[in-house]
Each structure stands twice: as C-alpha cells, then as structure tokens.
Amino acid sequence: MNPTPEAPPRPAPITLQHAWRFWLKLGCIGFGGPAGQIAIMHQELVERRRWISEKRFLHALNYCMLLPGPEAQQLATYIGWLLHRSWGGVIAGVLFVLPSLFILIALSWVYIAFGDLPAVAGVFYGIKPAVTAIVLHAAHRIGSRALKNTWLWAIAGASFVAIFAFDAPFPLIVLGAALIGYLGGRFAPQRFNAASPRNSGKSFGPALIDDDTPTPEHTRFSVAKLWKLALIGAALWCLPMALLTTWFGWDGTFTQMGWFFTKAALLTFGGAYAVLPYVYQGAVGHYGWLTPTQMIDGLALGETTPGPLIMVVAFVGFVGAYVQPTFGPEHAFAAGALAATLVTWFTFLPSFLFILAGGPLVESTHNELKFTAPLTAITAAVVGVIVNLACFFAYHVFWPNGFAGAVDVFSIVLAIAAGVALFVFKRGVISVLIVCALAGLGFHLMR
C-alpha cells in the first residue's frame, strides 16, 4: 500500500512587490477573453501559487459575474484586495488594463495613420469576416449557458426583434428584460434560476487564503468605510467631468465621451459583447465618432491584444478624437491618446468601486451566490442583441456598398471558414484572426 503523500506547506505571505509583478505579467499575457483570463488566474493563483483556495476563488468569481463590467478584471481586483487591502486591489485592477491601453493606443495610431497602405488594408480586409464569425460564436457561447428554457429563448428572440426591427435603445432592452426577470422570479422562479458555478472538489494543498482562513480585518464591512469609498468614487468621477466641462463645454467631444462611457460601464451585463451594440448605437449612430467599418476593425484589434475585450472603447475614443482633433491637426495623436485614456478611466472606475465597496459584504459569508432572476433575463436578452450585432457586421462586410452593390464572395467564404474553425474545430480566436488576416492580405495584394 502506497503511503499517503504529505500535503505541501502553506505558502508564505506574499509581499505587495511580489504581487504587482504577477499582476503586470497577467496584464501582458491575458489573451483569450474573460474565459481565458479566468483560466490563467485559476491555474496560477489556485493551482500553482496557492494564494487562494478554489472555493474562495469561485466565491469571488460568482460575485464578479453578478456585476456590470469585465468580470476577469474585477476578479483580479478582488483577489488583490483580499491579499493587500485597497491598494492591492487598485494595483491588480490597473495593471490588468494598463498594458492593453498602451498597445491599443499604438495600434489605433498605426490603423488611422497607415490604414490606407495596401498591406494594412489587406490585413483588415481578412480580419473583418473573421470578426463576424467571432461575434456569432460569442452569441452561441453565451446562449448555450443562458438559454435553458423556452421563456429565456423567447426573451432572446424578443430582444433581437426589438433592436433589429425597431432599433430599440440597448438600455431600454436591459430595463425591459430586468422587469420581466423580476416578475418571473416572483411568479415562475424555476424558470429564472441559473445555478452558480460549483466547486470542482479538487484540492491543490493549503492556500494562503484558504477555506477556513479567518476574515482579515480590512475585509470586514463598515458603514464608515462604505461612505468613505462612496465619497472618493464620487470625487474621482466628478472632478474630471467638471474639468472637462469647464475646458471643453458639456457638448465637447471629451466631455460627451466621459458621460457616454460612464453609462456604458453600468450596462455591461453579460460581458463586452453585450455592451458593443450600445457602444455602436452611441459612437457610430448618435455621435458619429467613427464609421461602421472602423467599429469592426476596432473589435478586431481588441481581440488581438491582451486584457479585457471592453478595451475596444480605447480604440473608439482614440479614433473619435483623432479624426476631429480638438487640439488642432498637428496634435491629433495627443487628442486621441488623451481620449483613449479618459474613456478607459470612466469605463473602469465603477468596477473598482463595486469591488472595494461590495467586497466586505461578500466576504461576510462564504456561501456560493446565485444569479438573480433579473440578471438571468438580462443575460438572455443579451444573446439576441449580440446576434443582431453579428447581422450588422455581416451586412457591412458582405455588402460593403449596400444591398444595391455587389456581394463580396471572398468575405463570405472567409467568414464561413472562420465559423467552421471556431464551431467545429474549436480553434482559438487569435489563431483564427491571424490566418484570416494572412488570407485577406494575400487576396488583397493579388487583386
């Protein structure tokens, strides 16, 4: 009989310097969207480093999935806060985003300044059909988890009709779905009850923050702390908005970007793909900051960079300020970089506040959370909205000159090939984008 192996010792306490190096590394290698980023954190923090137990990890993840905003970035903020108080959470969340901000500013400048070059144009020509397939795949991925019965399918179908046929505003769709979910939760709760992820039961040895680790003092709920955070959060939002309004006026591009992306940050239930239709309605349809084609290209750039996909807002901000430079044509890059930074600030500020303010309430119990009925209905509605987004992309890619113009057969073939790679062969988004980009480049140069 083999002897029982000894359990590994509990890890030594982690210094803040050690932690921030890991969070910076995560921000640089966080490809694959939220699923990939959460998988990396689980492998590194639960399995290999054992900074946190799996039960506590899933408990934090459940809370982050209830919130609007990028759940992977919020999870990093939450764990950083558990380990090293508020500053640990801020450092973890900022470093999760910062590398992708710098990369997207550089890529956005290359795109807008050199996008007419044959090589660059060819690459984006191949990427556009792939993005269409990727968005449709995202709808399938979310729908397979969310649409568990005919009621939720009906909500998804109704949301698609509302936005496709009647151009209903995305916030109105969210509010309508939330109301249906609230009523359904009261009168048909079994139809609106989505289970939380469960502990896999695996043991990786004792963790620094284990199942039975006493609640640290800084994670205990305090009304005074809550008020302090609320005041700090209000100041961090009001001060830049006041400065922007003073310098550029309420109708100025920077001011309107700050206001618009604050609203977008509070509507990202269901992930970045859920808020993209709202960003499109505002940035393309209402404000005219960029064209539909540029929106598709921006999503492609967001898919190919580390960090949360919602960082596509940095591209939207950069392009919107670059093409109508507030500081004059000679300072177009400065205007674009400032806009990208501002929209990132306003998009992620609520996420930090949700974690730092709500974390103590979550830590007061280690029972698993469940999705509320309104959130279940919102997630179902999001599926219909994302399908509409795929239709929007397909229209602009397959009929670049409108239905009256010629159909782009090569783009259709490339989109089908990308769909087969994603749905049938389970290829990753990055590899699909690279192959499609090379195919588009070759076809574009041979024409």
- In the block, residue with structure tokens 């179902």: 380
Indicate the DSSP class of residue 405. S
Answer whether 258's CB lies under 8 Å from 346's CB.
yes
**Contacts of 206 by beta carbon, 8 Å cutoff, 6+ apart:** 7, 8, 9, 10, 11, 50
Distance CA 280, CA 313 (A): 10
Residue 294 has pLDDT above 70, yes or no: yes
Question: How high is the pLDDT of residue 67?
Answer: 78
Per-residue pLDDT reduced to its tens digit, 222-252: 889 999 999 999 999 999 999 999 999 999 9
3-state secondary structure 147-209: CCCHHHHHHHHHHHHHHHHCCCCHHHHHHHHHHHHHHHHHHCHHHCCCCCCCCCCCCCCCCCE
Lowest average pLDDT, out of 25-34, 205-214, 425-434, goes to 25-34
Element (H, E) at 138: helix 118-146
Range from 94-98, 116-120, 220-224, 381-385 that averages highest in pLDDT: 94-98
Question: How high is the pLDDT of residue 310?
Answer: 86
Lowest average pLDDT, out of 119-123, 151-155, 200-204, 221-225, goes to 200-204
Q: CA 57 → CA 38, 61, 210, 357, distances in Å?
A: 10, 6, 10, 18
Name the percent of the chain lying above pLDDT 90. Answer: 40
The mean of the pLDDT values for the chain is: 85
Task: List the beta bridge partners of residue 209.
Answer: 52
| pTM score of the predicted model | 0.76
pLDDT confidence bin for 32, thresholds 50/70/90: low
pLDDT confidence bin for 42, thresholds 50/70/90: confident
Per-residue pLDDT reduced to its tens digit, 360-375: 877 765 543 344 577 7
Question: How high is the pLDDT of residue 175?
Answer: 85
Give the CA-trace dihedral at 201, 202, 203, 209, to 10 degrees. Answer: -70
Q: Phi and psi for 52 in degrees, rounded to 5?
A: -150, 145
Rounded to 10°, the helix 150-165/118-146 angle is: 140
* Tokens read off for 135: 């968005």
Question: How high is the pLDDT of residue 205?
Answer: 80
Choose among 262, 293, 245, 253: nearest CA to 392.
Answer: 293
Question: How high is the pLDDT of residue 6?
Answer: 64
Per-residue pLDDT reduced to its tens digit, 126-180: 888 888 888 888 788 778 877 889 999 999 999 999 988 888 877 788 789 889 9
Question: How high is the pLDDT of residue 273?
Answer: 66
Lowest average pLDDT, out of 165-179, 281-295, 307-321, goes to 165-179
Question: How high is the pLDDT of residue 238?
Answer: 97
Choose among 319, 270, 266: nearest CA to 292.
Answer: 319
Question: How high is the pLDDT of residue 377?
Answer: 85
Q: Return the sign of the alpha-carbon dihedral for residues 344, 349, 351, 355.
A: positive
Q: Phi and psi for 303 in degrees, rounded to 5?
A: -70, -25
pLDDT confidence bin for 275, thresholds 50/70/90: confident
**In sequence order, what DSSP letters do the residues of 14-75 get, joined into one string?**
PPHHHHHHHHHHHHHH--SHHHHHHHHHIIIIIIIS-SB-HHHHHHHHHHHHHSSS-HHHHH
If one counts every other C-beta atom within 10 angstroms of the C-beta of residue 333, the result is 18
